[in-house]
Structure 1
Amino acid sequence: MKKLSIITINYNNCNGLKKTIESVVNQTYSGYEYIIIDGGSTDGSVEIIKKYADKIDYWISEPDKGIFNAMNKGILKATGEYCNFMNSGDCFHANDVIEKIIKELDKDIVIGKYMFGNLSYPWGRTSDSISMLDFVKGGISHQSSFIKITLFENNLYDENLKIASDWKFFIDVLIFRNCSYKNTNVIVADFDATGISSVTSKLNEMERTKTLKEFLPERIYSDYVRLAKSDSPLLELTPLFNKTNGFQKLIFNIVTILINIRTFHLKIKYFLKKF
């Protein structure tokens, strides 16, 4: 069984698809399989796929029910131990990315950096701990992530969501199922800023809200929303936890810090008035 399955989904994005395919087939490491799921494109994408057919292990072009339906199709065809989703328009940052990342694949999820413009971005605030707060402002880039295929057993992407299903998946496996993960310094992907999650922020926010209400008790959800809107620097002072009950303890700690700061502030005001 090959160690890694690279999955690309595409629909009527032949130029982006060509860029993505070339970034995959030009990798210096060859121990991977390449899967392309096309949604029945009519813009020349199929001709691009056929041009590289000898370097593609499996491909299909047929109508699908959306992004995550297509990604699920790819998962079901994958035979690797890990999979990576490098969808059309995105590409590997360099030709030796897989050669570098293959040495790091020893956790359930291995996360690299991604390039957005001229800057590279890691994920999460720390390298060795994780909490729900890491999902307040963003999520994990599936382009720069390598996911054990066994995590998808009876747990495919939620096809009822159009944009936030991968965000939901990562919360499920990392927070509620406590799967192992690590960050690496490998720059994995160049991010295509024209992707659907980048241009439909309102729908993205609606789906994330729906997901959080599904996962969290109402009062925990309310606290989470308050923190998400606060942009408080106190978040950086709060211990991070990697288990579900840790989030409830996290809320308690933050409230305690706020109370202590408020009390300290009142004491200072009183002290100054005395002089």
Structure 2
Amino acid sequence: MRVSVITINYNNGTGLEKTIRSVIKQSYIDYEYIVIDGGSTDSSKQILEIYSDKITCWVSEPDKGIYEAMNKGIIRAKGEFCHFLNSGDIYADDEVLRKIFENKEYSVPLLRGVQICAADTGIFRWRNHGNRDVTLFDLYVDTMQHQATFIRRSLFDKYGLYDIKYKIVSDWKFFMQTMLGDEKSVFLDMDIVIFDMTGISNDPKYYGLMCEERNKVIDELIPKTIRATFDHVIELEKEKRKYRRYIRLGKFINKLKGKKP
């Protein structure tokens, strides 16, 4: 089994059906499909029953949140790689899994692709750090797009499951742990997923909690000397940007002066 596709859901029947249909339309068939529902009270369970013959394993029962649900999926997963395609998310096209896995082998445990995000301001293609090595500093200031990354199942045996004491950043913590463990990744220059932007991680009201959790993870994983170095680099970059803006403004003012009679 090459890949375990894992969907978690809670009271998002419409999004769940959209995601299920996206998975079962994949032309590649060497996958299993696991759906973990948190005991939804909407139409979700009925939808799971309708598509039950297309789903390898599904449960509908209360859980302690997103990451416990993901962990339930990981525990059941038998594929070489895990991919989290949560309710509302869909594959970019019907050939995604085939293009990644058919007649291909990977020596690295993390496969990064492009995540498409549709927002009110337009459609964005996040290249997931692109065709280069990802560094610890990249994770310190950003993240890897979880929905556009395939994770070798054995990494969860090596680093543990998602930490359920965090509500928003446990996937980021896990990627941090893999970077500290010197795990390598490869960039797949292709669209993987169209990401549903309505989830908790994109809700502005949870921004404060996200920052609080990230700081706790950094305190837990990153030595203070390294953190101080990273923060210094960030401040230097801010100063460089201010300087560049100052130079551009000066050139613009001089140009205006030159046009005066």
What is the rounded CA distance, in whole Å, between the counterparts of 2:71 and 2:209 in structure 1? 21
In structure 1, stretches of 5+ residues that fail to align are: 236-275
Alignment correspondent of 1:172: 177
Change (3 A) 1:232 1:10: same
What is the 5 A alignment of 1:139-154? 139-153=143-157
Residue 214 of structure 1 and its aligned partner are, at CA, apart by 0.9
Residue pair 1:14, 1:45 contacting (<8 A) in 2 also: yes
TM-score by length of 1: 0.80
Partner SS state of residue 27, structure 2: coil
Q: 1:228 to 1:160 in 2, by over 3 A?
A: farther
For 1:160, what is the secondary structure of its paired residue? coil
Does residue 8 (structure 1) correspond to residue 34 (structure 2)? The answer is no
Give the RMSD, CA atoms, in angstroms. 1.8
Q: Which moved more, 1:199-208 or 1:81-90?
A: 199-208
Amino acid at match of 2:196: D
- Contact 1:5-1:33 at 8 Å conserved across structures: yes
Preserved contact between residue 6 and residue 86 of structure 2 (Cα < 8 Å) = yes
CA distance in 1, matches of 2:12, 2:60: 13
Question: Which stretch shifts more, 145-154 or 213-222?
Answer: 213-222
Whichever residue aligns with residue 218 of structure 1, its letter is: K
User: Percent of aligned positions with the same letter in both sequences?
Assistant: 40
Paired residues, number:
232
The yes-or-no answer on 1:87 pairing with 2:86 is: yes
Shift of 1:36: 0.2
Q: Deviations over 1:117-176 (max 9, x none)?
A: 22311112x523221221244211221111110000151111111110000101111x21
- Does the residue aligned with 1:120 lie in a helix, a strand or coil? strand
Please, which of 207, 225, 235 is the counterpart of residue 231 of structure 2?
225
Is the 1:101–1:186 contact (alpha carbons within 8 Å) kept by the matching residues of 2? no
Q: Give the TM-score normalised by the residue count of structure 2.
A: 0.84
Match of 1:215 in 2: 221
**In structure 2, what is the equivalent of residue 183 of structure 1?**
187
Instruction: Give 3-state SS (helix, strand or coil) of 2:68's partner.
Output: helix
Deviation digits for residues 80-118 of structure 1 (CA, Å, limit 9, x no counterpart): 010100011111111111111114550201011010122
Is the CA contact (8 Å cut-off) linking 1:136 and 1:228 kept in structure 2?
no
Looking at structure 2, the residues matched to 26 and 111 of structure 1 have their Cα atoms a distance apart, in angstroms, of 22
**Letter of the 1:145 counterpart:** T
Match of 1:28 in 2: 27
